[in-house]
Structure 1
Amino acid sequence: MRLYLVQHGEAVPETQDPSRPLTEKGRREAESTARRAAELGVKASKILHSGKLRAKQTAEAMAEALKPSGGVERADGLDPLADPAIWAERLKEAGEDLMLVGHLPHLSKL
């Protein structure tokens, strides 16, 4: 099993939009990262993302380039302050290559 960790692209400030979607630069970052991952032969069976809009948008950009057979879906436990310990068990049970799209500091603790 391979695990790919991806931080979402640049998002607008919360004061501008509380849902914090990706900025235009963030969209370009996500698309560029996705293209490069595809060029490098990254294969993920499924792409999981946090419930935040910016992570979902980044995951969708990754899926556009990588075409995961299991698709893209929201997963609990990937939000910025979530306890990464829950992923220890989940990853033990995963028999497929996964991509997790989330946030710092959470991803750095995985």
Structure 2
Amino acid sequence: MKLYLVQHGKPVPKEKNPDRPLSEQGISDVEQVAIFLKKAQVKCFNILHSGKTRAQETAEILARALSPGTEPQQKDGLAPLDDVRPIAQWLKGENEDCMLVGHLPHLGKLVSYLVVHDVKTAVASFQQGCVVCLESGENAAWTLAWMIIPQIIT
């Protein structure tokens, strides 16, 4: 199973809009990442987001490119300060590739917990609009397969 962890794209400042939708740059960055992933033949039909506007918009852009016709769904437990253990436990029951669109510090802690079983040990350095791909192997162990950031492909 592959798990794609995505930090939402760059949002507008809170002062401009307290709901913090994606900025023009955020939209552009995520669209470029989506195009890159599509060319790399990444497919994912299970795309989940935190429910925050910037994460939902990011998930929608990715879904249009990677699984047209699929509607991303909100998933509890993906908010910035949520405990990562419930999501890690939920993943144990999943068999199909999954994409989680969320926020820091949650995503960073989730990667660390899944890979080295310690939320305080940094494993990946997330950036807005980036994708980290983990793969589960034997005994449901997770390894870091690859990571892409918008600056590399734009």
TM-score, structure 1 length as denominator? 0.94
Asked if the contact 1:20–1:53 (Cα under 8 Å) also holds between the matched residues in 2, the reply is yes
Structure 1 stretches lacking a partner, 5+ long: none
Structure 2 stretches lacking a partner, 5+ long: 111-154
Asked if the contact 1:47–1:63 (Cα under 8 Å) also holds between the matched residues in 2, the reply is yes
1:3-14 pair list within 5 angstroms: 3-14=3-14
SS in 2 for 1:86: helix
Query: Between the two proteins, what is the percent identity of the paired residues?
Result: 52
The answer to whether structure 1 residue 16 and structure 2 residue 12 are counterparts is no
Q: Which residue of 2 aligns with 1:35?
A: 35
Paired with 2:68 and 2:46, the residues of 1 have a C-alpha distance of 5
The answer to whether structure 1 residue 48 and structure 2 residue 29 are counterparts is no
SS in 1 for 2:101: strand
Paired with 2:100 and 2:65, the residues of 1 have a C-alpha distance of 15
Alpha-carbon offset, residue 69 of structure 1: 7.3
SS in 2 for 1:96: coil
Please tell me the root mean square deviation across aligned C-alpha atoms, in Å.
Answer: 1.3
Alpha-carbon offset, residue 71 of structure 1: 3.5
SS in 2 for 1:91: helix
SS in 1 for 2:100: strand
Give the letter for the 1:104 counterpart.
L
Asked if the contact 2:50–2:75 (Cα under 8 Å) also holds between the matched residues in 1, the reply is yes
Aligned residues: 110
Give the letter for the 1:77 counterpart.
G
SS in 1 for 2:88: helix
Superimposed CA distance per residue, residues 69-96 of structure 1 (whole angstroms, 9 cap, x where no aligned partner):
7631000011111111111111000111
Q: Which residue of 1 aligns with 2:103?
A: 103
Alpha-carbon offset, residue 4 of structure 1: 0.3
TM-score, structure 2 length as denominator? 0.68
